[in-house]
Structure 1
Amino acid sequence: MAEGDRDVDWFFTILAVCHTVIPEYVDVDIDRDDIRYQATSPDERALVMAAKSLGYVFCEREPDSVTICVNGKKHQFKLLHVIEFTSDRKRMSVIVEDENGKIFLMVKGADTVIYERLVEDALFKEETLNHMDEFAKIGLRTLCIAFRRLDRAYYEKWAKRYYQRSIAVANRAELVDEVCEEIEQSLQLVGATAIEDKLQDDVPQTIANMLAAGISVWLLTGDKQETAVNIGFSCQLITSGHIQLVINASDMNRVEEQLNHCITEVTKPTEAISRREFVLIVTGKALEKLLTAKHQKSFFELTQASSSVICCRVSPWQKAEMVRLVRAFTNDITLAIGDGANDVGMIQAAHIGIGIYGVEGRQAACSSDYAIAQFRFLNKLILVHGAWSFNRITKVILYSFYKNICLYVIQFWFGMVSGFSGQIIFDRWSMALYNVAFSAAPPLALGLFERNMSAKNCLRLPVLYKETQRTTMFDKVVNTSYVVYGNGQISSYLVLGNTVYTCAVLTVCLKAGLEHTAWTLFSHFAIWGSMALWFLFLIVYSHLYPTFPIGPEMVAMDTACFRSAVFWLLLIVVPVIALTRDFVWKVLRRTYSLTMREQVMIFEQNGVEPERFLQLFKPHITRGLRLFRHRPFVPVTSTEATTIGQPGDHGYAFSQEEYGRVTQTDIVRAYHSTEAKPTGD
């Protein structure tokens, strides 16, 4: 860097001063080159470290000042005000006084808000905008740096108004924003920064698996349009075969024109278009107009005609509104996943919210239903545990209907032959223990250990997840069939009752065996053990009286049942007859109408390797599994030229909690970096 270059000097000075980063030293005598920076935003920390690497070292923070070291010389700035970042403001500012008594406002933020506040003859406007466009094309996040020299008299008047509004009882946040808006005007542009936001491991593969599983994937981001589009390419949401539909205007008339044009494109009757897939790209300013009552329905129908939707430069409120839009117009289940404070609203608005623990804090994870460490873990959470859970819950619900109807329909038939006298055919203790003991273990085994496919093959064949979305495993037809199939039918009345009860226990336990596809030791124990438990109970219960005053009518009931040839004959005939329909239907279905999942189950049982599955299935099924690993990365530019008067949207990631009880201003003003900190030893 050439000495005396005032613009470059100001650029890095602002990077080293305009932030809420805190420097840490374990020992105040430590080498000042060894500084650990703590920040709420990884981007803020990256910018401070970048300035440090070029000789502008942020070295000390005191309650009322910050100190930087440039080429070995310290410069102290008195910290007058910190105007924090919010998602609406899209910028942050500090007001400082230098060693010469001059007062400056230093600002950094999105170009959409910085360019609107520049002086007419600001330098480097066109060059900076071109540079930001180039940065965005290669997937970098950008922001602008600017400053303003303040007259002391003007500042003192403004400071009084700021203080009065900051202690207001009602509408404090709005009043403070208004007074901050007054001073953040007539800015001088200094330059722009760009930060690489790397994708986590296996993000493209995970998204490709979600798409292959029939899950619609939308990207809602605060980055600018070009950055968002290139992220879409890198994570395979957009391919070279997609047609990009862009709505990026800011005024209502232009937004309506773009919306109508996009609807015309997707509804073209030509065969060439019908074979193409569309990706809808919407900016935050356009989204404000599209989410109004007038355009909501048309906009939503357009999203449904697109294979993916990318919303760029959107606020946390807009992210949440997009989730609510889907929930309002469909019965689909929504899942929102994010890793920053800006994603909390979206996560809480969805049916299922997933937070990722990351460098941007834990706000998202703490506000979610599930918390994971990396995005790629979504693969196993949905495709494995989600599919297993759906299969288990479905079988437990249907089996619970079956086993209860199987028993109590018998009582209904007995009521018809007993003239509905109120007499029950079963012993009262037997009925009480039916769900508690004799048929409790089989559904427990189904709910805990049932697996219709190995985890390895669930991940290798995400297309099989579509079966859970079609709900063919649990619909009105299936539910009714379990009710109909549980129609229990069969010379002391209690001998008859215990004979029928024994048949019911055996039938429902064997029915659980028919539903099992993954047999474990607990499965065997649950099914055969439940049968044995009933026989043991019958023997013990038959000999309790008169030692215990319980069940005198059950005395020697085991002998009466076990000596009856009819009892043993019915134990064989009734379960076989009751389950024959289930068994024959399963055999015919697996012989002539196998689903893809059942084919995979058979291949697993025969030891066929997963690679063989892809060769046996039809090409259109596996098309969604391709990961496009060899496709070259093609940067994409905006579809409309960006002018100086109307700059494009550029992104920046802030992670501070907005309007928190303890603000970043309170934190930095309470910190004194020259004091020794405890070592924790």
Structure 2
Amino acid sequence: MIINKFEWKNTYYKASTSIHYRERKLEDAANIIENNLVILGATAIEDKLQEGVADTIYALLKADIHLWVLTGDKQETAINIGYSCKLINPDTALFLLNADSLDSTRDSINKHMMELKDMRERPESEVAVIIDGKTLKYALGCDIRKDFLDLCICCRVVICCRVSPIQKAEVVEYVTMHTKTVTLAIGDGANDVAMIQKAHVGIGISGEEGLQACCASDYSIAQFRFLTKLLFVHGAWNYSRMCKLILYSFYKNICLYVIELWFAIYSGWSGQILFERWSIGLYNVLFTAAPPLAMGLFDRLCSAETMMKYPSLYKTTQSSQYFNVRVFWVWIFNALIHSVLLYWLPYLALEKDVIWGNGREGGYLLLGNIVYTILGVVDSKDYVVVTVCLKAGLITNAWTWLTHLAIWGSIVAWFVFIVIYSNFWPTIPLGAIMLGMDRMIYTSPVFWLGLILIPFSALLLDIFVKV
């Protein structure tokens, strides 16, 4: 059949604007003109993987991170990409979900679940689920979405191909809601924006497809391989630092203010405070501010090289080992024990009030300053190693010169403060009751002996647990 180009153009236009069976009519229109042809050449476009993608994915799998690939590529391309980036290997069993109806999708999921139960007898076996966009529409339906999710969770890898941007967002949202886990979505194009915004953590890659993904993300990186450093180094460090900072802040305040409760027992619940008012006011502002700041900025579990070399170290971050309900109450109970020891031990040491060789005696404020000084040593050091430093050393993994300055400097700051503050009055009409307090405290042998024994006694249990 001979047809001129104007007639064919009209036929193609009708096919492209047809409401029913558009794809079939477009194919028929193309067959009219595409016949008796001689192939002169062929061309192809290669979308190469970025450098380090395979190593990055391998590291993520070693860290027990479940990977879901959501792509618009066709199934064959998605599988080939999975092989090239080591997401799946020749030993991986592929569960293909290609169904045209809800019932067939349900049957396919149930069949693969039975196969998976049989394969559990061989723990070395690895399984990947491959599902296309049409089947995914049925799989995310209310009837079988839980069965589909159970199948995916049991598998090592899930690849969703031929999915739309809306489907990507639906998958992320459903996994986030029903698994109660933290999800991370990473993409480099405008079609990934909805997915990135639905995840707990969205990461955009600035590349050839523009900056839409970066603008919608929480973090922006230049290449996919930088994801390992973002998670395993900065993510793990930040998690550990924040956990210690929060727990330590509760700990040091409970240690101080619960002591007022113990003092109230012997003050007839009169409301009389044990510590001088400026000492209390500067407690969080000056004397115990630097250690948590140094801890929150410079502490790290391991070096960056070690964290990158051993991805399994990231598992402690995933399992919330450093901050959970049990850990929180252990810290609270620990703070209460320390408050008891830090009040009652100095109280017993000063029970007869005679703490100098000449028989002189002090008052409640002397007890308060001695307790505060000993407490200041405990808080400034925050979990200390025996004979070297107190409490901070036990939970500080990395010691820098700033960490030393923060911990030891906070202790020195309190001793210097009490010397200066005890000599303000009457030159400066402030702290009259503190006049001469430095000489009273520093000339007492009981104080210096308690400065060694009482913090060590309070931290003995912590040292034992740490060792």
Instruction: Give runs of aligned pairs for residues 182-581 of structure 1, distance below 5 A.
Output: 194-268=44-118, 271-272=121-122, 274-486=123-335, 487-488=338-339, 489=341, 490=345, 491-510=362-381, 511-581=391-461
Mapped contact 2:54–2:84 kept (Cα < 8 A): yes
Following superposition, the deviation at residue 309 of structure 1 comes to 0.4
1:118 equivalenced with 2:26 (yes/no): yes
- AA matched with 2:31: L
Q: 1:354 to 1:446 in 2, by over 3 A?
A: same
Once residues 467 and 454 of structure 1 are traced to their aligned partners in structure 2, the CA distance between those partners, rounded to angstroms, is 16
Q: 1:546 to 1:359 in 2, by over 3 A?
A: same
- AA matched with 1:115: E
Mapped contact 2:15–2:26 kept (Cα < 8 A): no
Unmatched runs of 5 consecutive residues or more in structure 2: 346-361, 382-390
Mapped contact 1:243–1:277 kept (Cα < 8 A): yes
Mapped contact 1:284–1:311 kept (Cα < 8 A): yes
- AA matched with 2:91: G
SS at match of 2:131: strand
SS at match of 2:95: strand
TM-score by length of 1: 0.59
Q: 1:270 to 1:518 in 2, by over 3 A?
A: closer
SS at match of 1:413: helix
Once residues 14 and 406 of structure 2 are traced to their aligned partners in structure 1, the CA distance between those partners, rounded to angstroms, is 70
Mapped contact 1:399–1:512 kept (Cα < 8 A): no
Shifted more, 562-571 versus 474-483: the winner is: 474-483
Once residues 526 and 493 of structure 1 are traced to their aligned partners in structure 2, the CA distance between those partners, rounded to angstroms, is 30
Once residues 126 and 571 of structure 1 are traced to their aligned partners in structure 2, the CA distance between those partners, rounded to angstroms, is 95
Once residues 310 and 559 of structure 1 are traced to their aligned partners in structure 2, the CA distance between those partners, rounded to angstroms, is 74
Q: 1:296 to 1:573 in 2, by over 3 A?
A: same
Following superposition, the deviation at residue 234 of structure 1 comes to 0.9
Mapped contact 2:291–2:407 kept (Cα < 8 A): yes
Equivalent residue number for residue 93 of structure 1? none
Equivalent residue number for residue 350 of structure 2? none
SS at match of 2:45: strand
Once residues 362 and 204 of structure 1 are traced to their aligned partners in structure 2, the CA distance between those partners, rounded to angstroms, is 24
Once residues 421 and 344 of structure 1 are traced to their aligned partners in structure 2, the CA distance between those partners, rounded to angstroms, is 62
Once residues 162 and 78 of structure 2 are traced to their aligned partners in structure 1, the CA distance between those partners, rounded to angstroms, is 9
Once residues 25 and 281 of structure 2 are traced to their aligned partners in structure 1, the CA distance between those partners, rounded to angstroms, is 77
Once residues 165 and 127 of structure 2 are traced to their aligned partners in structure 1, the CA distance between those partners, rounded to angstroms, is 25
Mapped contact 2:165–2:194 kept (Cα < 8 A): yes
Once residues 142 and 308 of structure 2 are traced to their aligned partners in structure 1, the CA distance between those partners, rounded to angstroms, is 41
Deviations 1:540-597 (A, max 9, x none): 111112222222111111111112222212111111111111112211xxxxxxxxxx
Q: 1:496 to 1:313 in 2, by over 3 A?
A: same
Q: 1:583 to 1:126 in 2, by over 3 A?
A: farther
SS at match of 1:431: helix
SS at match of 1:123: helix
Following superposition, the deviation at residue 429 of structure 1 comes to 1.0
Mapped contact 1:443–1:512 kept (Cα < 8 A): no
Once residues 79 and 278 of structure 2 are traced to their aligned partners in structure 1, the CA distance between those partners, rounded to angstroms, is 67
Once residues 126 and 294 of structure 1 are traced to their aligned partners in structure 2, the CA distance between those partners, rounded to angstroms, is 45
SS at match of 2:261: helix
Mapped contact 2:105–2:135 kept (Cα < 8 A): yes
- AA matched with 1:219: V
Instruction: Give runs of aligned pairs for residues 101-140 of structure 1, distance below 5 A.
Output: 105=13, 115-118=23-26, 120=28, 122-123=30-31
Structure 1 vs Structure 2: percent identity of aligned residues?
49
Mapped contact 2:237–2:299 kept (Cα < 8 A): yes
Q: 1:427 to 1:124 in 2, by over 3 A?
A: farther
Following superposition, the deviation at residue 117 of structure 1 comes to 4.3
Following superposition, the deviation at residue 455 of structure 1 comes to 0.6
SS at match of 2:127: strand
Q: 1:255 to 1:126 in 2, by over 3 A?
A: farther
- AA matched with 1:363: Q
Following superposition, the deviation at residue 216 of structure 1 comes to 0.7
SS at match of 2:118: coil
Following superposition, the deviation at residue 289 of structure 1 comes to 0.9
Q: 1:231 to 1:573 in 2, by over 3 A?
A: same
SS at match of 2:425: coil
Deviations 1:623-654 (A, max 9, x none): xxxxxxxxxxxxxxxxxxxxxxxxxxxxxxxx
Q: 1:461 to 1:117 in 2, by over 3 A?
A: farther
Following superposition, the deviation at residue 118 of structure 1 comes to 2.1
TM-score by length of 2: 0.85
Following superposition, the deviation at residue 514 of structure 1 comes to 2.2
Once residues 457 and 106 of structure 1 are traced to their aligned partners in structure 2, the CA distance between those partners, rounded to angstroms, is 64
Q: 1:114 to 1:248 in 2, by over 3 A?
A: farther
Q: 1:413 to 1:379 in 2, by over 3 A?
A: same
Once residues 117 and 208 of structure 2 are traced to their aligned partners in structure 1, the CA distance between those partners, rounded to angstroms, is 43
Tell me how many residue pairs correspond in the alignment: 424
Following superposition, the deviation at residue 405 of structure 1 comes to 1.5
SS at match of 2:264: helix
Q: 1:122 to 1:584 in 2, by over 3 A?
A: same
Once residues 373 and 106 of structure 1 are traced to their aligned partners in structure 2, the CA distance between those partners, rounded to angstroms, is 45
- AA matched with 1:561: I
SS at match of 1:196: coil
Q: 1:503 to 1:270 in 2, by over 3 A?
A: closer
Deviations 1:280-299 (A, max 9, x none): 11100111111111111111
SS at match of 1:473: coil
Equivalent residue number for residue 359 of structure 2? none
Once residues 106 and 358 of structure 1 are traced to their aligned partners in structure 2, the CA distance between those partners, rounded to angstroms, is 38
Unmatched runs of 5 consecutive residues or more in structure 1: 1-5, 11-96, 132-190, 588-681
Q: 1:125 to 1:513 in 2, by over 3 A?
A: farther
Once residues 126 and 214 of structure 2 are traced to their aligned partners in structure 1, the CA distance between those partners, rounded to angstroms, is 34
Mapped contact 2:275–2:368 kept (Cα < 8 A): yes
Once residues 501 and 338 of structure 1 are traced to their aligned partners in structure 2, the CA distance between those partners, rounded to angstroms, is 54
Equivalent residue number for residue 610 of structure 1? none
SS at match of 2:31: coil
SS at match of 1:309: strand
Once residues 269 and 213 of structure 1 are traced to their aligned partners in structure 2, the CA distance between those partners, rounded to angstroms, is 23
Mapped contact 2:100–2:135 kept (Cα < 8 A): yes
Instruction: Give runs of aligned pairs for residues 2-151 of structure 1, distance below 5 A.
Output: 105=13, 115-118=23-26, 120=28, 122-123=30-31
- AA matched with 1:235: C
Root-mean-square deviation over aligned CA pairs: 2.7
Point out which structure has higher relative CO (alpha carbons under 8 A, 6+ apart). Answer: 1
